[in-house]
Structure 1
Amino acid sequence: MSILVKRFTSVESDSKLITNIKDLILQRRHVEAFQLYRNQPHLTSILPSLIKACSLCKTHYAFGLQLHSHSLKLGFHSELILSNSIISFYCKLHDFKSAHKVFDEMSQRDCVSWSAMINHSARNGYYVESLEMFKEMYECRFVAKPELIASVLSVAARCGGTRVGKMIHALSVVDERFVKSVFLSTALVDLYWRSGDSLYAIRVFDGMVNKNEFSWTSMIAGYVGICDYSKAFDCLRQMQLAGIKPNRVTLISVLPACVESRAINLGYSIHGYAFRHGCDSDIRLLSSLVHLYSQHADSLPLAKLIFETITQKDVVLWSSVIAGCSRDKQNAEKSISLFNRMQKEGIQPNDVTLLAVLTACTSIPSINLGSGIHSYVLKAGFDSDLPVTNSLISMYSKCGSLKDSHRVFQETGTPDRVSWSALISAYGVHGYGEQALQLFTEMKAKGIEYDSITMLAVLSACNHAGLVEEGHKLFSEVVKDENLLVNMEHYACYIDLLGRAGKIELASEVLRTMPMKPSPKIMSSLVSACKTHGRLDVAETLLSRFIESEPGNAANHTLLSMIYAESGKWFDVDGIQRNMKSRGLKKIYGFSRVEN
């Protein structure tokens, strides 16, 4: 009888000890739990919980190894629950070799065993291995949970395994054992977006019965990825109409669309939403907002304000605010001081930073500051970076030093199309049209393909130097070449060239037949040419025709009024002014500022 009482008392005591150890683990008082177990090593049922606790911190790795050794000595290593805990322990502490060894030696496995190994392989970059193990798991008649399938689909999307992803999609449809869930559907949407199959992504999304914030976010990110920003904004609105609140990832996903479509007002709304919902402290979100606000001169002060509130600034954040300041002439010098400050704070500029600060040197303009940045480029080893080198060529040219511009070009190892275009433009701006044409000929001789930007640079060089025949020949080539995109700037340059040379009729014909509506700049240029060469009749005819087609354009009325004034037709001037007044048209005045 006394023996039975002792056994009962012992079992009751062990049960209390196990409960105490589990409570300590739940309270994250791991050291105390380990110490309590050391005094009672016979409590083998608590081993899985203890090994799981060891996986939560690297400092407990040694004790986890001891527990594994202890289980081997006691012969409990073949127990499924304990083996799964050991695999999970090694996986979480990135000892993949030991985890694989335990997994291979298991006499039996379950879904937990396979899931631990597949998840670990996926998270540590062993994408092919994780896909192979998933296939092997299915062949062993185990059906993965939706969360694991979602993880595998994510792996397939990252490593370009679209075919594998489609096979898993087919299995989920055919095999009734697969549990349909929002996790699986969202992973499929993400897979198809990443693989460039937007139709399948939309079809899967539309077929989802339940959608959560992750599903909507995946759709928004997908539309942003294919530059369909209006659809991305529509998804954001529909998401909220469905009663689903956007999370911080949703906001971060949609902000690039605001940047590219210049939807600054929507950016303000997103910022306000983030503030109201406590997301405004997220570093990634704040960085995206700084990038957005830096694109606009009006919101630049807000970008700088957010920038100063961020304690941990990386090179991307510095580059965004420096680029924003460099685009605004009034803040160009501020970008230089920010560039110096970031280096003092231990952040090394990258190529994007240098491109931004070189833009600032051009905006000021200051050849001394530009030379200083050039020195940094050489010291930091960015002289082999073509975009930076091309920016230096352009900077020196716009700051007035054609000699330095050509020197940088000559020091460039392998100049590309942009390099040649920048140098051609430099010679054209400085009035050396024939040298620019010679460079263009040399560029073609070297087999470097030119584009519409190159042709614009050459046309501009002809315009500056008054090379009418060469410019006419070049423009004819541009128009005939189907591979070149002819835009408003090409026509503006060519019409200005003809107008300056007094070829008013030809310029008028080009203006009349051009495939797009002429800009006010082109109109003003041709009218000025007509005035210079005494062809007010042509200007009058042109403007009358444009007023008929665009009666609401005040610029055309104003130009015609000027022509009538030049011809002394004051009665017609008065008629134009009365006509503008009756239509409610007002001349937009220009302003200039003189600084002391």
Structure 2
Amino acid sequence: MSTYTQHPLSPISLPFSPSPSLPSHQQPTKPPISSSSPKPISISHSQASWIESLRSKSRSNLFREAISTYIEMIGSGVSPDNFAFPAVLKAVAGIQELYLGKQIHAHVFKFGYGSFSSVTIDNTLVNMYSKCGGLGDVYKVFDRITERDQVSWNSIISALCRFEEWEVAIKAFRLMLMEGFEPSSFTLVSMALACSNLRKRDGLWLGKQIHGCCFRKGHWKTFSNNALMAMYAKLGRLDDAKSLLVMFEDRDLVTWNSMISSFSQNERFMEALMFLRLMVLEGVKPDGVTFASVLPACSHLELLRTGKEIHAYALRTDDVIENSFVGSALVDMYCNCGQVESGRLVFDGVLDRKIGLWNAMITGYAQSEHDEKALMLFIEMEAAAGLYSNATTMSSIVPAYVRCEGISRKEGIHGYVIKRGLETNRYVQNALIDMYSRMGDIKTSKRIFDSMEDRDIVSWNTIITSYVICGRSSDALLLLHEMQRIEEKSTYDGDYNDEKKSSFQT
């Protein structure tokens, strides 16, 4: 058990020590399996040696090699057994190749393992379909398992969480308990994830029971604690998540990243920086996720010097050159701190430029009113890089477009928004309301506002300001009263529904 004394820590001095790290993912296509055309091999193996080789490669996550071994084994006339199928199905799930998985599922029946049903094979089929296929395939396999075990239930609950069927996952968990199976750490991790995606009140009510179950059963593994921390953070209970981190000793990189990203997302930026410092002092090396999570804190607090220190550390690894997310966070940080050209240098240095990086640079230019540069980069992104603009791109480009004096027909950008299918996005609609009000066309601004299904505070502020700019103060005041009335009503309705739900639960 370890505790931290919280001193006034300066976020400026981060005790980084030089040393690298990194990850990546891709999806290949494998040739179909044939059990009829043998492949020539140099040495004849026994069934046991083939299957041991297959299982060893699968355990080592050498998925392509494991699949090749399976194909060679079939080609040499050796039949797979109930040890071979779980190994090769794990490999198929690893590369997420559905067509190949269905061929191996057919082999399960062909070689006589479908009729009497091996629970181990069925469990790995559930896992394979959850990673490669659709929920329908998962249900079909699960429903035909006659003697389910704990792994069967863990597999179906995990699959339901993967497909974001949170309520159904909770029902499956209850059925598992009714059938007399004890939840394992893996079950509780899935349940913590499901709880974090429920409404706040429901999620906390059930999440605390899951936490209590972990405590009673002694499931204090690092990954289960990480899941509980993430659950509390997502449900807005950051201090509970923080207490959990301080309570247990086996903290890993995921533990620290979860806590730092939670602080950043909830705008507790100084704590995000403080926990980065504590993480490094504990000897845990930050990775790309850490940098991408903590740089927004430097950006919002305009801590340029701290941001530069993090940038310098990231340069010692390949996290800037090869990680577009870190690059995006750095560009955003430099632009927010008024160093737009430094942001452009980072942008130019990143090899793998994803849409988020382009958006960060375009937004940086637009916010600094380098409108022509924003428009030129926007054109380069679509014409040269072949990337399509999304809502973030358009909500940044529309203000730059309307400010650009060289463009006469400002409303042309609205046609482009419609062409991209983004006209119903709230952020883009807010930008369009502002654009038309600047052009003096308050009618179109109001029409867009009235068509919005989901208005936020920015939507209301923009339309109210538009009326003030156009000299219609009385209309602006009426809209202000309407906004306050709607806000009061939604607060009352939310409280009433929460009370009603609470009375049913008690």
Q: What TM-score does the superposition give when structure 2 sets the normalisation length?
A: 0.74
Give the SS at the match of 1:313.
coil
Count, aligned residues: 441
Please name the residue that 2:430 is paired with. 492
Please name the residue that 1:527 is paired with. 464
Deviation for aligned residue 1:181: 4.2
Please name the residue that 2:320 is paired with. 383
1:307 aligns with 2:253: no
1:206 aligns with 2:117: no
Deviation for aligned residue 1:353: 0.6
Please name the residue that 1:348 is paired with. 285
Please name the residue that 1:408 is paired with. 346
Going from structure 1 to structure 2, the CA distance change for 1:211 and 1:438 (only over 3 Å counts) comes to same
1:291 maps to a residue whose letter is A
2:485 maps to a residue whose letter is A
| Residue segments in structure 2 that go unaligned for 5+ positions in a row | 1-42, 495-506
The one-character-per-residue Cα deviations of 1:530-583 (angstroms, maximum 9, x if unpaired) are 234333576689899xx7xxxxx753599xxxxxxxxxxxxxxxxxxxxx9xxx
Deviation for aligned residue 1:251: 1.4
Whole-angstrom distance in 2 between the partners of 1:129 and 1:531: 70
Alignment of 1:91-490 (within 5 A): 119=55, 122-123=58-59, 125=62, 127-128=66-67, 131=70, 135=74, 144=81, 149-151=85-87, 153-158=89-94, 160=97, 161-171=100-110, 179-259=116-196, 264-265=203-204, 266-279=206-219, 281-296=220-235, 298-329=236-267, 331-385=268-322, 386-413=324-351, 415-452=353-390, 453-462=392-401, 471-482=410-421, 484=422, 486-490=424-428
Aligned partners of 1:393 and 1:406 also within 8 Å: yes
Deviation for aligned residue 1:275: 1.2
**Percentage of pairs with the same residue:** 23
Going from structure 1 to structure 2, the CA distance change for 1:486 and 1:585 (only over 3 Å counts) comes to closer
Deviation for aligned residue 1:197: 4.2
Please name the residue that 1:507 is paired with. 445
Whole-angstrom distance in 2 between the partners of 1:419 and 1:117: 43
Going from structure 1 to structure 2, the CA distance change for 1:423 and 1:200 (only over 3 Å counts) comes to closer
Deviation for aligned residue 1:277: 1.9
Whole-angstrom distance in 2 between the partners of 1:438 and 1:123: 50
**Higher mean C-alpha deviation, range 178-187 or range 387-396:** 178-187
Whole-angstrom distance in 2 between the partners of 1:238 and 1:294: 28
1:555 aligns with 2:494: no
Please name the residue that 1:70 is paired with. none
Deviation for aligned residue 1:118: 6.1
Give the SS at the match of 1:384.
coil
Q: Which has the larger radius of gyration?
A: 1
- Larger % of helix: which? 1
Deviation for aligned residue 1:115: 6.8
Deviation for aligned residue 1:316: 1.9
Going from structure 1 to structure 2, the CA distance change for 1:494 and 1:215 (only over 3 Å counts) comes to same
Going from structure 1 to structure 2, the CA distance change for 1:194 and 1:344 (only over 3 Å counts) comes to same
Whole-angstrom distance in 1 between the partners of 2:431 and 2:445: 11
Going from structure 1 to structure 2, the CA distance change for 1:158 and 1:373 (only over 3 Å counts) comes to closer
Whole-angstrom distance in 1 between the partners of 2:255 and 2:80: 45
Give the SS at the match of 1:271.
helix
The one-character-per-residue Cα deviations of 1:149-178 (angstroms, maximum 9, x if unpaired) are 545544554464414422233236x679x6
Deviation for aligned residue 1:394: 0.6
Aligned partners of 1:223 and 1:231 also within 8 Å: yes
| Residue segments in structure 1 that go unaligned for 5+ positions in a row | 1-100, 548-552, 559-579, 587-596
The one-character-per-residue Cα deviations of 1:333-369 (angstroms, maximum 9, x if unpaired) are 2222322332233222110011111011123231221
Give the SS at the match of 1:451.
coil
Aligned partners of 2:426 and 2:452 also within 8 Å: no
2:472 maps to a residue whose letter is R
2:443 maps to a residue whose letter is E
Please name the residue that 1:29 is paired with. none
Greater RCO, 1 or 2 (C-alpha within 8 Å, sep 6+) = 2
Aligned partners of 2:263 and 2:269 also within 8 Å: yes
Aligned partners of 2:119 and 2:145 also within 8 Å: yes
Q: What TM-score does the superposition give when structure 1 sets the normalisation length?
A: 0.64
Give the SS at the match of 2:315.
helix
Going from structure 1 to structure 2, the CA distance change for 1:312 and 1:199 (only over 3 Å counts) comes to same
